[in-house]
Amino acid sequence: MTDKALREEMVSICRRMNSSGINQGTAGNLSVRSGRSFLITPSGMPYDIMGPDDIVEMDFDGTYVGRRPSSEWRFHRDILKAREDISVVLHCHSVYATTLACHHRTIPSFHYMTGVAGGTTIRCAAYATFGTQALSDNALVALKDRLACLLGQHGQISLGTNLEHALWLAIEVETLSRMYVQALMLGEPPVLSDEEMGRVIDQMRRMSYGLAPDAEGTNDVARPREG
């Protein structure tokens, strides 16, 4: 993908963050790995007026070209530097995820879809002032072996191998957060065992490679037709 096309897709994803309801106003930010550097959204610019040329190019040493980058550039840089398995960092203040984050609630495996974030829980990072190195350090701890986390009294971070994947995951995290908040109204819900979540996560990984979920007893007849 060309630099221009990547910038255009970033603008589109940012606007979809707002239209999907997971972000509001100038909150949230987005970054994408690009060669030996990365692209990141500018500071304080509403997405509906942001254009491809407003996207900021940053090096991993913290220098940049163009507009002033998002105030959260530190955790974007540090996550991309630490996680070679991902290419996109998406941060937003989705309402239900942020509600849980305000209570420093980790999302447990109350629903099997918690596994989409790569583990048995979606952790909540300890609070730190926005834009600081402390926040970045806390986020890295919460994201260990995970693709998403909450940020204490702040919002959520979702990671992806591409822009569409990161947006999809952010919406899933918000959906799970809403379900968990609603389930808590009836009391603390039961959680699935680590053993069961291991089976769930393994099945999700198989399906991500285009394979049917054919674990024992789950797919006895679905198979490609011969001839």
96-137 residue pLDDT tens = 999 999 999 999 999 999 999 999 999 999 999 999 999 999
| From 8, 9, 72, 188, the catalytic residue | 72
Length of the chain: 227
Catalytic residue list contains 72:
yes
Give the span between the Cα atoms of 89 and 13, in whole angstroms. Answer: 12
Give the span between the Cα atoms of 73 and 122, in whole angstroms. Answer: 22
Q: For the domain 3-208, what is the CATH superfamily, name and number?
A: Class II aldolase/adducin N-terminal domain (3.40.225.10)
135-174 residue pLDDT tens = 999 999 999 999 999 999 999 999 999 999 999 999 999 9
Instruction: Assess contact for 72 and 91: CB atoms under 8 A.
Output: yes
Q: Is the pTM of this model over 0.85?
A: yes
> How does DSSP assign 99-168, residue by residue?
HHHHTTPPB-SSSGGGGGGTSS-B-EEPP--TTSHHHHHHHHHHTTT-SEEEETTTEEEEEESSHHHHHH
Domain ranges, ordered by start, for the chain: 3-208
Burial class (CB in 10 A: 0-12, 13-18, 19+), 53: exposed
